[in-house]
Structure 1
Amino acid sequence: FHGIDMVTADDRRWPQGQYGLPTRNGKLKEVDRFDAAFFNVHPKQAHNMDPQLRLLLEVTYESICDAGINPIKLKGTKTGIFIGASGSDAQNAFSSDPQTLEGYSMTGCATSMFANRLSYFFDFKGPSYTVDTACSSSLLALDCALNALRNGSCDAA
């Protein structure tokens, strides 16, 4: 919208020119910045956590606050979490060296655990799952949330 090209060519994630890897792509800046203590995540686990999950935690918290809701008031409620997620290279990147694997590092990279991490942090008691249907993941997650609200599985989603 502002005429800024967000697709860059740099070596922030991998060396330029490697066979099979794109030369230009969109990357998150400061991907390692995350308030682990605020989200009750051990620093070692946060270091090996998929950046998508870090953003999901942050944006979910911000969204609840932006809606004028105190997140503490949602604690223990029958709130459902339905996440649409797809592939990520984080799991491969963080598990490439077996010497650096931490006890719970893989749960921070498994997209299947994204919804559960949110439910755990906010102490939500409704359904909690991540769906992966490639390009339609978010649409299916929205459909699942609507169905759960209709059938009474949760009071909010």
Structure 2
Amino acid sequence: MLDIAIVGMSCRYPKSPDIPTFWQNCLERKVCLTELTDQRWNHKALYSPNKRARNHTHSQTAGLLSNVDEFAARYFQVSPRRARIMDPQQRLTLELTREALQDAGAERRPFLRERSGVFFGAVISEFIVYSNMKVRSWQLLDGQFGPPSTEDVTAELPDLNAYSLSGCLVNGIASSVSQFFQLGGPAFTSDAACASSLVATTQACQYLRSLPPRKGLSPIA
């Protein structure tokens, strides 16, 4: 049976932007929740100290990633129009894949790109709600959901463009990585709820073991 090794890792967690920090936070049993602010999410309309209040949350903290609004679009050859409507999950996986390749020493070292695959686990794109708000705003202005709203409410919403759909597809998480890093193996995102990452890892291992042996360079999944 083919031996498989994990040779590169990367991560993004609340208050843990990399593997060493994440490990240290685990050792220290650090609570990495953050107090919610209006700058990140104004949840005043949804907050209630009453835990039994319907359609409300009694929590004022959340596990938040830092600098989610920053992205090296030029490096990853993503146009400004596409970057604005791109699910943060897609942006993060591009950055994390590069960091994992760097950690493995494979960013500049040759490997079998034509046989390397991309396997991700993800459940939902919450960003699609935001990207579709322009359409919903038109419906509101048209009075389809009740008395018309005002155009001021929708002024800052993202415009629709050619990337509005692809920017929110969950499978775009895998295909964006495959496209940029020029990988010729399979590329897809698995949705198995809480087991998504485990299923993706299993699929990656099965794919690697299905390849015929070849001396020299190795594929990556």
- Structure 2 residue 55 is matched with structure 1 residue 28: no
- The answer for the alignment partner of 2:193 in structure 1 is 134
Say which is worse superposed, 138-147 or 69-78, in terms of deviation.
69-78
Aligned length: 157
- Structure 2 residue 63 is matched with structure 1 residue 17: no
Q: Deviations over 1:90-139 (max 9, x none)?
A: 11112211371121122122112211111100110011110011100000
- Structure 2 residue 205 is matched with structure 1 residue 146: yes
**Aligned counterparts of 2:124 and 2:35: Cα–Cα separation in 1:** 21
TM-score (norm 1): 0.87
- The answer for the alignment partner of 1:93 in structure 2 is 130
Q: Deviations over 1:37-88 (max 9, x none)?
A: 1001001111111112111100100110111113573474210110011223
**Aligned counterparts of 1:70 and 1:13: Cα–Cα separation in 2:** 34
- The answer for the alignment partner of 2:11 in structure 1 is none
- The answer for the alignment partner of 1:156 in structure 2 is 220
Q: Identity percentage over the alignment?
A: 34
- The answer for the alignment partner of 1:68 in structure 2 is 105
Q: Where does the alignment leave 5 or more consecutive residues of structure 2 unmatched?
A: 1-24, 47-54, 136-157, 213-217
- Structure 2 residue 147 is matched with structure 1 residue 83: no
Highest CA radius of gyration, 1 or 2?
Answer: 2
**Aligned counterparts of 1:29 and 1:141: Cα–Cα separation in 2:** 25
**Aligned counterparts of 2:66 and 2:160: Cα–Cα separation in 1:** 24
**Aligned counterparts of 2:88 and 2:112: Cα–Cα separation in 1:** 25
Q: Where does the alignment leave 5 or more consecutive residues of structure 1 unmatched?
A: none
DSSP 3-state at the match of 1:129: strand
TM-score (norm 2): 0.64
- The answer for the alignment partner of 1:121 in structure 2 is 180
**Aligned counterparts of 1:12 and 1:65: Cα–Cα separation in 2:** 33
The answer on whether the counterparts of 2:166 and 2:172 sit within 8 Å (CA) in structure 1 is yes
**Aligned counterparts of 2:128 and 2:36: Cα–Cα separation in 1:** 23
List aligned pairs for 1:23-62, cutoff 5 A: 23-62=60-99
